[in-house]
Structure 1
Amino acid sequence: MLTTGRQLGLGALLTCAIFVGAGCNPTPIVESMTPTQGTEDGGTSITITGQKFKVGATVQFGGKTVTPSNVTKTSMSLVSPAGAVGSVQVTVENPKQKRGEKALSYTYLDTTAPTVNSVSPSDGHVYAQGAGYEDAVATGLTQITAKFSEPLASATVSVSSASLPDAIKGGYSGAVSGATTVSGDMVTFTASEVLASARSYTVSVEGVDVAGNRSAAKTSTFSVATPKRLHRYVVQEGDTLQSIAARPDTYEDAEEWKKILLVNQDYNEVNRDAPQAGLGLWLHWDE
Structure 2
Amino acid sequence: MNFFRTSFDLQASSKPRNIAVLAVLTIVCAWMAGCAGCNPEPVPMGMNPTQGPETGGTTVQITGEKFDMKNGVTVTFGGQNAQSVTVPSETQITAVTPGGTAGQSVTVVVTNNGKPEVPVTLSQQFTYTDATPPTVTMNTPTDGTVFSEYEDSLNVMNSVSVSFSEPIDSNSVAVDVAVTKTEDSMSEPMDGTLSGTVTGSGDSVTFTSDMPMRAGRMYTVTVSGAADMAGNVLENSHSFSFSITSPEALYKYHVQEEDIQEENGEAALKRIAARPEIFDNPEMWERLVAANQDAYIFDRTKLRVGQLLIIPRGRAWGDK
TM-score (norm 1): 0.85
SS state at 1:103 partner: strand
For 2:96, the aligned partner's letter is V
Alpha carbons of structure 1 residues 119 and 10: separation in structure 2 relative to 1, 3 Å = farther
* Larger displacement relative to structure 2 (49-58 or 156-165): 49-58
| Structure 2 CA distance for partners of 1:69 and 1:210, relative to 1, 3 Å | closer
Q: In 1, Cα distance between the equivalents of 2:83 and 2:136? A: 38
1:143-162 per-residue CA deviation (whole Å, 9 max, x = no partner) reads 11000111112322222212
Give 1:255 shift.
2.7
- Pairing 1:60–2:76 present: yes
Q: Which moved more, 1:108-117 or 1:178-187?
A: 108-117
Task: For 1:146-161, list aligned pairs within 5 A.
Answer: 146-153=162-169, 154=171, 155-161=173-179
Matched residue type, 2:223: V
Q: How does 1:90-101 map to 2 (within 5 A)?
A: 90-94=108-112, 95-100=115-120
1:81-117 per-position Cα deviation (integer Å, ceiling 9, x unaligned): 0112233221212333212253333232322221111
Moved more, 115-124 or 238-247: 238-247
* Map of 1:138 onto structure 2: 155
Match of 2:50, as an amino acid? T
Q: Give unmatched runs, 5+ long, in structure 2.
A: 1-17, 261-267, 316-320
Provide the C-alpha distance between the structure 2 equivalents of 1:205 and 1:31, rounded to a whole number of angstroms. Answer: 48
**Secondary structure, counterpart of 2:211 in structure 1:** coil
Give the aligned partner of residue 79 of structure 1: 96
1:173-228: CA deviation from partner (whole Å, max 9, x where unpaired): 32212211120111111112321111111111121122222213212211111121
TM-aligned CA distance change 1:268 to 1:53, over 3 Å? same
Q: Percent identity?
A: 36
1:162-241 counterparts in 2 under 5 A? 162-206=180-224, 207-215=226-234, 216-237=236-257, 238-239=259-260, 240-241=268-269
**How far 1:6 moved relative to its partner?**
9.2
TM-score, with normalisation over the residues of structure 2?
Answer: 0.77
Structure 1 residue 43: Cα displacement:
1.3
Aligned match of 2:86: 70
CA distance in 2, matches of 1:81, 1:124: 43
**1:81, 1:88 → 2: CA distance?**
11
Could you say which structure has the higher helix fraction?
2
Q: Which amino acid aligns with 1:61?
A: F
3-state SS of 1:275 partner: coil
Q: CA RMSD in A?
A: 2.8
- The one-letter code matched in structure 2 to 1:58 is T
Most deviating of 266-275 and 119-128: 266-275
Letter in 1 for 2:57: G
Task: Quote how far apart the aligned CAs of 1:7 are.
Answer: 7.5
Q: Report if aligned partners of 2:44, 2:120 keep a CA contact under 8 Å in 1.
A: yes
- Rounded to whole Å, the distance in 1 between the matches of 2:256 and 2:275 is 13
SS of the residue 2:300 aligns to: coil
Gaps of 5+ in 1: none
What SS is found at the alignment partner of 2:85? coil
Asked if residue 28 in structure 1 is aligned to residue 46 in structure 2, the reply is no
Q: 1:92 & 1:28 partners in 2: Cα distance?
A: 7
The match for 2:288 among 242, 260, 273 is: 260
Structure with bigger gyration radius: 2
Count, aligned residues: 279
Aligned-partner SS, 1:78: strand
Question: Helix, strand or coil: the match of 1:102?
Answer: strand
Q: Distance in 1 between matches of 2:116 and 2:166?
A: 43
* Equivalent-residue separation in structure 2 for 1:204 and 1:223 (angstroms): 15
Query: Residues 84 and 219 of structure 1: is their aligned pair in 2 closer, same or farther, counting only changes over 3 Å?
Result: same
Counterpart among 277, 280, 291 of residue 249 in structure 1: 277
